[in-house]
């Protein structure tokens, strides 16, 4: 009886143990091909998954392949590796993690509550020959200097002088191709060629060092940026302009003064300033004007407007370039108009309509005065000329003197040569057709009340537009 009891107890004890061992080793067998509990790879829970299954999951989360190469100057080049049978795989890294597991210890890790977190990157697979061929055809590797004939020279380009220093962009082509291939196959997305050590170091010769010394002077001189503000727009004087002012000898070499500094070709600066005057001066006309009577007229001649002081402007530019200044200044005028933009007359002016024999005065665009006048006698060839001019002189109680007259006036405003605006107390009428037979010697005869008001209102420099 006792023997049977012991047998039953043995069976009852052994059976659960066998079941536990069976379950445990069953899971050992299960984890032989999959990841054990507590494994996370690239934030994906991997327990129970095979490396192949994890590879598919991770690839689904991976962006399409692309690769960028950057040179030492920061210029980026895209390489279309998708055209070279490129594919990603995580399998090598996944298998390494798998081999690092001991399935017999799955229970221990469960009891301890240990978790493993892995971060891995994919490896690339591609047609390396196609990749190498593409790299060798790229502008990056094609535009390489001959190592036996390295250039260090200063060349003139559209935007000024530039330094060509081929020592700074000399790639070891084989090393560059190898570095790119290695990075691509590692699954990397970017490669900086300078960081990868793909550039060849070249020692400067004595001649090269001399060129670099000259370049430092050239770069400093043409670095000035002068904005010259004209009434009708700005002119920017930068390296593209200044490079044409630097003095060269007959062989095209830079000339240096006794202190070893660059010199400016003052004749070139003078010509440039003359071209500025030609482009911006308005003192020689023509002018387009909208008279009070309506319509548009063109006045070809006159002495009003903007006129560049070429001598002073030239001296100022030379000084600024030698001082390496970057400034923004008004153009230096010997004569200035009152308007800006395309309209140098502005909105304050005297208008003398000789066909209507009427004079108007506008201030800030508002009509201040309208009066009949008598202008030059056209019947005797003394007609007042059609001009755009300005009040250049004002005087009270002046005596007008001519070949056959000596006439005192109370108000005098000179506008063009001997022609002026003044009172004419000897006249009883103004306006109409008086000017054709009994006009003035060329002046604008004006009623006393109107001319006194005008005299008090206008300033010297006020534009005067006279037309028929």
- CA pair distance 103, 27, nearest whole angstrom: 8
In our burial notation (b when 16+ CB lie closer than 10 A, e otherwise), range 235-254 reads bebbbebbbebbeeeeeeeb
Task: For residues 227-247, give the mean pLDDT.
Answer: 96
Task: Provide the Cα torsion 388, 392, 396, 400; round to 10°.
Answer: -70
More confident of the two residues 66 and 411: 411
CB neighbours of residue 127 within 10 Å: 14
| pLDDT tops 70 at residue 450 | yes
In this predicted structure, what is the pLDDT of residue 17?
A: 52
The 10s digit of each residue's pLDDT in 152-191 is: 999 999 999 999 998 888 888 889 989 998 988 888 889 9
Task: For residues 364-393, give the mean pLDDT.
Answer: 97
Extended strands (E) in 213-261: 225-230, 233-237
CB neighbours of residue 306 within 10 Å: 22
Strand partners of residue 329? 228
**pTM, full prediction:** 0.66
The 10s digit of each residue's pLDDT in 189-222 is: 899 999 999 998 888 999 999 999 999 999 999 9
Nearest-10 crossing angle of helices 266-280, 310-322: 130
The 10s digit of each residue's pLDDT in 66-91 is: 789 999 889 999 988 877 788 878 88
Report percent pLDDT > 90 for the chain. 60
Q: Tell me the domains of the chain and their CATH numbers.
A: 210-288+300-335 (3.10.20.800), 349-467 (2.40.440.10)
- CA pair distance 10, 6, nearest whole angstrom: 6
The 10s digit of each residue's pLDDT in 13-23 is: 555 555 554 45
The 10s digit of each residue's pLDDT in 118-151 is: 988 888 788 888 888 888 888 888 777 777 778 8
The 10s digit of each residue's pLDDT in 293-343 is: 999 999 999 999 999 999 999 999 999 999 998 999 999 999 999 998 888
Query: Given pLDDT bands bounded at 50, 70 and 90, which one contains residue 106?
Result: very low
| Of 331-345, 359-373, 377-391, 450-464, the least confident | 331-345
Residue written as tokens 């063109």? Answer: 298
Strand partners of residue 328? 227
8 A C-beta contact, residue 302 and residue 257: no
* Helices and strands in the chain, H and E counts: 13, 26
- The DSSP 8-state label assigned to residue 331 in this structure reads -
Helix (H) or strand (E) holding 457: helix 448-457
Give me the phi and psi of 181, to 5 degrees please: -60, -45
Backbone dihedral region for residue 187 (phi beyond 0: left; psi -120 to 50: alpha; all else: beta):
left
Distances (CA, A) of 452 to 191, 356, 446, 456: 83, 21, 9, 6
Strand partners of residue 89? 123
Distances (CA, A) of 324 to 179, 212, 223: 44, 19, 7
Nearest-10 crossing angle of helices 51-60, 91-99: 140
- CA pair distance 149, 172, nearest whole angstrom: 15
In this predicted structure, what is the pLDDT of residue 281?
A: 94
Task: Provide the Cα torsion 259, 262, 265, 266; round to 10°.
Answer: -60
Task: For residues 212-234, give the mean pLDDT.
Answer: 95
**Mean pLDDT rounded to a whole number for the chain:** 88
| pLDDT tops 50 at residue 25 | no
Q: Using alpha carbons, select from 41, 36, 184 the residue that is nearest to residue 102.
A: 36
CB neighbours of residue 256 within 10 Å: 14
Strand partners of residue 125? 87
In this predicted structure, what is the pLDDT of residue 312?
A: 98
8 A C-beta contact, residue 28 and residue 103: yes
Task: For residues 438-457, give the mean pLDDT.
Answer: 97
Q: CB under 8 Å to 216, separation ≥6 — which residues?
A: none
Query: Given pLDDT bands bounded at 50, 70 and 90, which one contains residue 59?
Result: confident
Q: What is the largest CA-CA distance in the chain?
A: 171
Task: For residues 92-114, give the mean pLDDT.
Answer: 67
CA 299, distance to chain mean position in Å, is: 39
In this predicted structure, what is the pLDDT of residue 423?
A: 97
- CA pair distance 296, 52, nearest whole angstrom: 86
């Amino acid at each position: 009886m006792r023997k049977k009891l012991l047998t039953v107890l043995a069976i009852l004890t052994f059976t659960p143990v066998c079941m536990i061992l069976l379950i445990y080793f069953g899971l050992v067998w299960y984890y032989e091909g999959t990841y054990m509990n507590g494994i996370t790879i690239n934030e994906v829970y991997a327990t129970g998954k095979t490396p192949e299954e994890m590879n598919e999951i991770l690839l689904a989360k991976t962006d399409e392949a692309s690769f960028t190469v950057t040179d030492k100057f920061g210029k980026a080049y895209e390489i279309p590796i998708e055209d070279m049978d490129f594919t990603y795989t995580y399998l090598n890294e996944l298998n390494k993690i798998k081999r690092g597991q001991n399935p017999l210890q799955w229970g221990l890790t469960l009891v301890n509550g240990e978790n493993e977190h892995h971060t891995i990157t994919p490896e690339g697979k591609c047609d390396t020959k196609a990749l190498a061929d593409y790299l060798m055809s790229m502008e990056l590797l094609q535009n390489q200097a001959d190592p036996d004939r390295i250039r260090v020279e200063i060349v003139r380009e559209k935007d000024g002088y530039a330094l060509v220093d081929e020592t700074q962009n000399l790639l070891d082509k084989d090393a560059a191709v190898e570095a790119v291939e290695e990075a691509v196959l590692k699954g990397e997305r970017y490669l900086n060629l300078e960081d990868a050590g793909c550039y060849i170091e070249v020692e400067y010769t004595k001649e090269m060092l001399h060129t670099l010394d000259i370049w430092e002077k050239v770069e400093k001189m043409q670095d000035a940026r002068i904005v010259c503000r004209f009434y009708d727009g700005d002119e920017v004087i930068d390296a593209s302009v200044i490079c044409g002012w630097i003095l060269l000898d007959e062989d095209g070499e830079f000339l240096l003064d006794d202190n070893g500094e660059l010199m400016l070709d003052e004749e070139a600066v003078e010509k440039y300033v003359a071209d500025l005057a030609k482009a911006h001066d308005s003192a020689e006309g023509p002018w387009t004007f909208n008279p009070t009577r309506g319509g548009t007229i063109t006045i070809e001649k006159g002495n009003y407007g903007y006129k560049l002081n070429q001598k002073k402007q030239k001296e100022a530019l030379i000084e600024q370039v030698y001082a390496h200044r970057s400034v923004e200044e008004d153009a230096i005028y010997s004569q200035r108009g009152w308007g800006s933009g395309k309209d140098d007359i502005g909105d304050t002016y005297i208008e003398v309509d000789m066909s209507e024999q009427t004079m108007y005065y506008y201030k800030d665009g508002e009509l201040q005065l309208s009066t009949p006048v008598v202008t030059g006698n056209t019947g005797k060839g003394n007609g007042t000329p059609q001009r755009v001019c300005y009040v250049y002189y004002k005087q009270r109680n002046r005596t007008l003197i001519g070949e056959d007259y000596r006439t005192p006036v109370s108000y005098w405003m000179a506008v063009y040569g001997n022609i002026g605006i003044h009172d004419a107390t000897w006249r009883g009428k103004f306006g109409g057709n008086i000017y054709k037979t009994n006009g003035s010697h060329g002046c604008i005869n004006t009623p006393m009340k109107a001319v006194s008001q005008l005299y008090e209102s206008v300033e010297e420099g006020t534009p005067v537009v006279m037309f028929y």
